[in-house]
Amino acid sequence: MAAGDGDVKLGTLGSGGESSSDGSSESPSGAGAATEGGGWAAAALALLTGGGEMLLNVALVALVLLGAYRLWVRWGRRGLGAGAGAGEESPAASLPRMKKRDFSLEQLRQYDGSRTPRILLAVNGKVFDVTKGSKFYGPAGPYGIFAGRDASRGLATFCLDKDALKDEYDDLSDLNAVQMESVREWEMQFKEKYDYVGRLLKPGEEPSEYTDEEDTKDHNKQD
Protein backbone atom coordinates (compact mmCIF):
# COMPACT_ATOMS: atom_id res chain seq x y z
CA MET A 1 0.00 0.00 0.00
CA ALA A 2 1.10 3.51 -0.64
CA ALA A 3 0.75 4.49 3.00
CA GLY A 4 2.84 1.53 4.12
CA ASP A 5 5.53 2.27 1.62
CA GLY A 6 5.68 5.82 2.88
CA ASP A 7 6.05 4.66 6.49
CA VAL A 8 8.91 2.35 5.60
CA LYS A 9 10.80 5.04 3.73
CA LEU A 10 10.41 7.50 6.59
CA GLY A 11 11.59 4.92 9.06
CA THR A 12 14.60 4.03 6.94
CA LEU A 13 15.66 7.63 6.56
CA GLY A 14 15.20 8.30 10.22
CA SER A 15 17.20 5.31 11.45
CA GLY A 16 20.24 5.90 9.29
CA GLY A 17 21.45 2.35 9.90
CA GLU A 18 18.34 0.24 9.79
CA SER A 19 17.63 -2.90 7.72
CA SER A 20 16.91 -2.42 4.03
CA SER A 21 13.83 -3.71 2.30
CA ASP A 22 15.60 -6.95 1.34
CA GLY A 23 16.47 -7.73 5.00
CA SER A 24 20.17 -7.04 4.72
CA SER A 25 21.73 -4.87 7.43
CA GLU A 26 23.60 -1.70 6.49
CA SER A 27 26.70 -1.14 8.71
CA PRO A 28 28.14 2.40 8.97
CA SER A 29 31.66 1.14 8.20
CA GLY A 30 32.70 4.36 6.40
CA ALA A 31 31.71 6.52 9.35
CA GLY A 32 33.58 4.24 11.75
CA ALA A 33 36.75 4.44 9.69
CA ALA A 34 36.51 8.20 9.64
CA THR A 35 36.04 8.24 13.39
CA GLU A 36 39.06 6.03 13.93
CA GLY A 37 41.15 8.18 11.65
CA GLY A 38 40.08 11.31 13.53
CA GLY A 39 41.01 9.67 16.84
CA TRP A 40 44.52 8.84 15.64
CA ALA A 41 44.95 12.38 14.31
CA ALA A 42 43.80 13.87 17.61
CA ALA A 43 46.17 11.62 19.53
CA ALA A 44 49.07 12.57 17.29
CA LEU A 45 48.25 16.26 17.65
CA ALA A 46 48.06 15.92 21.44
CA LEU A 47 51.45 14.17 21.43
CA LEU A 48 53.01 16.87 19.30
CA THR A 49 51.47 19.61 21.43
CA GLY A 50 52.71 18.03 24.62
CA GLY A 51 56.18 17.65 23.14
CA GLY A 52 56.18 21.28 22.09
CA GLU A 53 55.26 22.39 25.61
CA MET A 54 58.02 20.22 27.03
CA LEU A 55 60.58 21.72 24.66
CA LEU A 56 59.38 25.21 25.57
CA ASN A 57 59.74 24.45 29.27
CA VAL A 58 63.24 23.09 28.75
CA ALA A 59 64.18 26.21 26.78
CA LEU A 60 62.83 28.48 29.52
CA VAL A 61 64.75 26.62 32.22
CA ALA A 62 67.91 26.87 30.12
CA LEU A 63 67.46 30.64 29.73
CA VAL A 64 66.93 31.09 33.47
CA LEU A 65 70.07 29.07 34.25
CA LEU A 66 72.07 31.04 31.70
CA GLY A 67 70.91 34.35 33.19
CA ALA A 68 71.78 33.18 36.70
CA TYR A 69 75.23 32.10 35.53
CA ARG A 70 75.89 35.45 33.88
CA LEU A 71 74.86 37.31 37.03
CA TRP A 72 77.11 35.09 39.14
CA VAL A 73 80.05 35.69 36.84
CA ARG A 74 79.45 39.45 36.79
CA TRP A 75 78.96 40.04 40.49
CA GLY A 76 81.31 37.26 41.55
CA ARG A 77 84.16 38.88 39.69
CA ARG A 78 83.33 42.22 41.26
CA GLY A 79 83.42 40.65 44.68
CA LEU A 80 86.76 39.03 43.97
CA GLY A 81 88.11 42.32 42.71
CA ALA A 82 86.95 44.11 45.82
CA GLY A 83 88.53 41.45 48.00
CA ALA A 84 91.83 41.66 46.15
CA GLY A 85 92.00 45.43 46.55
CA ALA A 86 90.76 45.49 50.11
CA GLY A 87 94.28 45.99 51.44
CA GLU A 88 94.92 48.97 49.15
CA GLU A 89 93.99 52.34 50.63
CA SER A 90 92.46 55.08 48.53
CA PRO A 91 94.15 58.51 48.51
CA ALA A 92 91.42 59.88 50.78
CA ALA A 93 91.87 57.09 53.32
CA SER A 94 95.63 57.62 53.53
CA LEU A 95 95.42 61.38 54.07
CA PRO A 96 94.61 63.07 57.39
CA ARG A 97 91.59 65.30 57.53
CA MET A 98 92.46 68.79 56.40
CA LYS A 99 92.22 71.50 59.01
CA LYS A 100 89.87 74.35 58.29
CA ARG A 101 91.48 77.26 56.44
CA ASP A 102 90.79 79.76 53.67
CA PHE A 103 92.35 79.75 50.20
CA SER A 104 93.27 82.23 47.53
CA LEU A 105 92.94 81.14 43.90
CA GLU A 106 96.69 80.52 43.71
CA GLN A 107 96.67 78.39 46.83
CA LEU A 108 93.65 76.42 45.62
CA ARG A 109 95.36 75.50 42.34
CA GLN A 110 98.02 73.56 44.22
CA TYR A 111 95.40 70.93 45.07
CA ASP A 112 94.52 69.67 41.60
CA GLY A 113 95.49 66.05 42.27
CA SER A 114 98.64 66.15 40.17
CA ARG A 115 101.00 67.85 42.59
CA THR A 116 99.52 66.29 45.71
CA PRO A 117 97.04 63.44 46.27
CA ARG A 118 94.63 65.87 47.91
CA ILE A 119 92.00 67.41 45.60
CA LEU A 120 90.12 70.59 46.42
CA LEU A 121 87.61 72.66 44.46
CA ALA A 122 85.41 75.66 45.18
CA VAL A 123 81.68 76.15 44.71
CA ASN A 124 79.98 79.47 45.43
CA GLY A 125 82.87 80.74 47.51
CA LYS A 126 83.21 77.52 49.55
CA VAL A 127 86.19 75.14 49.29
CA PHE A 128 85.60 71.39 49.54
CA ASP A 129 87.95 68.44 49.88
CA VAL A 130 86.85 66.03 47.12
CA THR A 131 89.79 63.64 47.43
CA LYS A 132 87.50 60.68 48.12
CA GLY A 133 85.85 61.41 44.77
CA SER A 134 89.19 61.25 42.94
CA LYS A 135 87.75 58.93 40.27
CA PHE A 136 85.55 61.88 39.26
CA TYR A 137 87.73 64.89 40.08
CA GLY A 138 91.21 63.41 39.69
CA PRO A 139 93.44 64.16 36.66
CA ALA A 140 91.91 61.25 34.72
CA GLY A 141 88.34 61.80 35.94
CA PRO A 142 85.48 63.19 33.85
CA TYR A 143 85.36 66.34 36.01
CA GLY A 144 89.10 66.68 36.55
CA ILE A 145 88.98 70.10 34.92
CA PHE A 146 87.43 71.45 38.14
CA ALA A 147 90.20 70.17 40.42
CA GLY A 148 92.04 73.02 42.12
CA ARG A 149 89.68 75.56 40.58
CA ASP A 150 86.46 77.46 41.22
CA ALA A 151 83.91 75.12 39.59
CA SER A 152 80.90 77.40 40.13
CA ARG A 153 80.50 78.71 36.59
CA GLY A 154 81.07 75.33 34.96
CA LEU A 155 78.49 73.66 37.20
CA ALA A 156 75.98 76.45 36.70
CA THR A 157 76.25 76.36 32.91
CA PHE A 158 76.84 72.58 32.60
CA CYS A 159 80.06 73.32 30.74
CA LEU A 160 83.19 71.17 31.04
CA ASP A 161 85.36 73.36 28.82
CA LYS A 162 88.19 75.57 30.00
CA ASP A 163 86.09 78.54 28.92
CA ALA A 164 83.98 77.94 32.03
CA LEU A 165 87.02 78.57 34.25
CA LYS A 166 88.50 81.96 34.94
CA ASP A 167 92.06 82.61 36.01
CA GLU A 168 90.94 85.58 38.07
CA TYR A 169 88.37 85.65 40.85
CA ASP A 170 84.88 85.05 39.45
CA ASP A 171 82.11 86.90 41.27
CA LEU A 172 79.43 85.20 39.08
CA SER A 173 77.64 88.53 38.73
CA ASP A 174 76.69 87.86 35.10
CA LEU A 175 74.84 84.61 35.85
CA ASN A 176 71.05 84.70 35.71
CA ALA A 177 68.71 83.68 38.53
CA VAL A 178 68.31 80.10 37.30
CA GLN A 179 72.07 79.61 37.03
CA MET A 180 72.67 81.04 40.49
CA GLU A 181 70.05 78.72 41.92
CA SER A 182 71.90 75.85 40.26
CA VAL A 183 75.14 77.01 41.92
CA ARG A 184 73.47 77.00 45.33
CA GLU A 185 72.07 73.52 44.74
CA TRP A 186 75.54 72.25 43.81
CA GLU A 187 76.93 73.87 46.95
CA MET A 188 74.42 71.99 49.11
CA GLN A 189 75.22 68.69 47.40
CA PHE A 190 78.95 69.15 48.01
CA LYS A 191 78.30 70.03 51.64
CA GLU A 192 76.38 66.80 52.11
CA LYS A 193 78.99 64.59 50.46
CA TYR A 194 82.41 66.18 50.99
CA ASP A 195 84.35 67.96 53.73
CA TYR A 196 83.99 71.73 53.83
CA VAL A 197 87.49 73.12 54.26
CA GLY A 198 87.10 76.90 54.16
CA ARG A 199 86.33 79.95 52.06
CA LEU A 200 87.62 81.02 48.66
CA LEU A 201 89.11 84.45 49.26
CA LYS A 202 88.34 87.48 47.15
CA PRO A 203 91.31 89.55 45.94
CA GLY A 204 92.79 91.44 48.91
CA GLU A 205 90.65 89.57 51.45
CA GLU A 206 92.44 88.29 54.54
CA PRO A 207 91.99 84.67 55.61
CA SER A 208 90.15 83.92 58.82
CA GLU A 209 91.83 82.31 61.78
CA TYR A 210 90.06 79.12 62.83
CA THR A 211 90.48 77.55 66.24
CA ASP A 212 90.75 73.83 66.77
CA GLU A 213 87.35 73.95 68.46
CA GLU A 214 85.73 75.52 65.38
CA ASP A 215 87.46 73.04 63.13
CA THR A 216 86.25 70.07 65.19
CA LYS A 217 82.75 71.52 65.41
CA ASP A 218 82.49 71.88 61.62
CA HIS A 219 83.76 68.35 61.02
CA ASN A 220 81.31 66.92 63.53
CA LYS A 221 78.44 68.67 61.73
CA GLN A 222 79.48 67.04 58.47
CA ASP A 223 79.75 63.60 60.07
pLDDT digit string, tens, across residues 17-70 = 444 444 444 444 444 444 455 565 555 555 556 566 676 676 666 666 666 655
- Among residues 134, 101, 105, the alpha carbon closest in space to that of 117 is found at 134
pLDDT one-digit tens code per residue, 165-188: 999 999 999 999 999 999 999 999
Compute the distance between CA of residue 133 and CA of residue 150 in angstroms, rounded to an integer: 16
Ordered strands of the 195-199 beta sheet: 120-123, 126-129, 195-199
pTM: 0.58
Cβ pair 140, 154 in contact under 8 A: no
Confidence of residue 164 (pLDDT cuts 50, 70, 90): confident
| Higher per-residue confidence, 197 vs 77 | 197
Cβ pair 150, 108 in contact under 8 A: yes
